[in-house]
Amino acid sequence: MEVGFVGLGLLGQAMVRRLSSKGVKVTVWNRSIEKAKASGFPYVENLEDLSKNEDIIFLCVKDSQAVEAILTKISPYLKNKIIINTSTNSVSKVLEFHRLVKENNGFYLECPVLGSVIPAEKGQLTLLVSGEKEVFEKVKPFLEILAQKWFYLQTPGKATQAKLINNYLLALMMEALASAVVLGEKAGFTKEEFLEILESGVGNSYVLKVKKEALLKESFVPHFSLENLVKDLNYAEELFKTFSGIALEGALVKELYKIGINLGIKEKDFSVIYQVLKKLASLTIKTKKGGDMIKNEVFAALRGIWEITEKDIIFDVLGLTEEERKEVFNLPKISFTDEKNLIFSEVSCII
Ligand SMILES: NC(=O)c1ccc[n+]([C@@H]2O[C@H](COP(=O)([O-])OP(=O)(O)OC[C@H]3O[C@@H](n4cnc5c(N)ncnc54)[C@H](OP(=O)(O)O)[C@@H]3O)[C@@H](O)[C@H]2O)c1
């Protein structure tokens, strides 16, 4: 059994290791070719060579732009080839990818995954698959090596919809967990003690199970980066808009993760949101005029209220008065000068 594999990021490398450990001959290509060389797997310098030589090609790259660039480059060689795209992309782009591959007489399977590096290494991913049934059946022996469960959802776009809604929930659950731990510590519990309490109650969850060590040790070695989670939240937002839906809490939580990007920790695991919340919880806030600001106002500002159309709903949630609404509304966007200072024109916050 033989395949080509494009993308040696965190997840891609884990999938390649798993396929190879089960006897699949995997030839790899990565944009930064050093990673391909260092991987120890057979590799090609040119992406085109991979597409000429291999009948089945897995993609596991960052975002929709990356997939688009790759498919465009290999489009002359797609005839009778099967592309299995395990990256998480936007629904609108995924529909274009189905079309592009078909127009070039190839076959496209949309195959985003649930699970991360460790499940990938153990063959315990869950796959969400859309595309032609016959093609799915043909590549099943490879998918069975990577996954213990799959959902065949057939209609193009469906697998991506499910994946994005799943990651939306993941982002919210991680933020809720981190926020509860920060509160617990503020209230004087030790982290160990408080995590055990949460574990014995409603906090007992898959997220707590897999992120407990990271939270305890405050070691946020990436399995799934904060940057990639924000990417998925952007795609989820786009999806919700197509259904005229609003996802208010998602918009707020996305802004919190984005603070992590501004703090320069985008490559850390997304569970690093704990550190972001801890910093925010210890904000000292002074206005330039000398008075103290109401913390909620600053949080509302931090949470990017300007980017959300339903501003009034947020103000209702925060319970701001008419006067306070006006004040918040007039705050300019924040800018981050360095890790320690957030500067508003009227307010400076020292983290
Ligand atoms: N990690 C997880 O737990 C996980 C779980 C489920 C789904 N996913 C999804 O799987 C995909 C890969 O995730 P990851 O964690 O492996 O990401 P990652 O560590 O950030 O790696 C990204 C990969 O994409 C490549 N890439 C980026 N832009 C490119 C471009 N314009 N052209 C060609 N290649 C490009 C990178 O190449 P360079 O090495 O040259 O930068 C790298 O190989 C993402 O869509 C992610 O959302 C990840």
Query: Among 59-68, 234-243, 244-253, 282-291, where is mean pLDDT lowest?
Result: 282-291
What is the tens place of the pLDDT at every residue in 288-344? 454 455 455 555 555 544 344 344 544 554 555 667 656 655 554 444 343 344 444
Q: Return the residue whose CA atom lies nearest to atom 19 of ligand 1.
A: 9
For residue 298, how far is its CA from the centre of ligand 1 (angstroms)?
Answer: 34
Query: Among 53-57, 221-225, 285-289, where is mean pLDDT lowest?
Result: 285-289
So what's the pLDDT on residue 246?
62
So what's the pLDDT on residue 235?
96
So what's the pLDDT on residue 295?
52
Pocket of ligand 1 (CB under 6 A): 7-12, 30-32, 35, 60-62, 65-66, 69-70, 87-88, 113, 116-117, 223-225, 228, 232
Pocket test for ligand 1, best of 206, 228, 267 (most atoms within 8 A of CB): 228
> What is d(CA 51, CA 45) in angstroms, rounded to the nearest whole number?
12
> What is d(CA 279, CA 284) in angstroms, rounded to the nearest whole number?
10
Structure tokens that stand for 226 in this block:
């904060």
So what's the pLDDT on residue 325?
58
Question: In this structure, which amino acid lies at residue 330?
Answer: N
For residue 201, how far is its CA from the centre of ligand 1 (angstroms)?
Answer: 35
Three-state SS at 247:
coil
Domain 2-154 coded CATH 3.40.50.720: yes
Please report, for the chain, the start and end positions of each structural domain, with discontinuous segments joined by +. Answer: 2-154, 162-350
Same fold, 2-154 and 162-350: no
Mean pLDDT over each residue of the chain, to the nearest integer:
86
Contacts of 208 (CB under 8 A, 6+ apart): 177, 195, 198, 199
Mean pLDDT of 45-51: 96
Beta bridge partners, 286, equal 348
Three-state SS at 272:
helix
Mean pLDDT of 136-162: 98
Mean pLDDT of 222-231: 98
So what's the pLDDT on residue 250?
83
Q: Which CATH superfamily is domain 162-350 in?
A: N-(1-d-carboxylethyl)-l-norvaline Dehydrogenase; domain 2 (1.10.1040.10)
> What is d(CA 222, CA 220) in angstroms, rounded to the nearest whole number?
6
Radius of gyration of the chain measured on its C-alpha atoms: 23
Answer yes or no: are the C-beta atoms of 93 and 115 closer than 8 Å: no
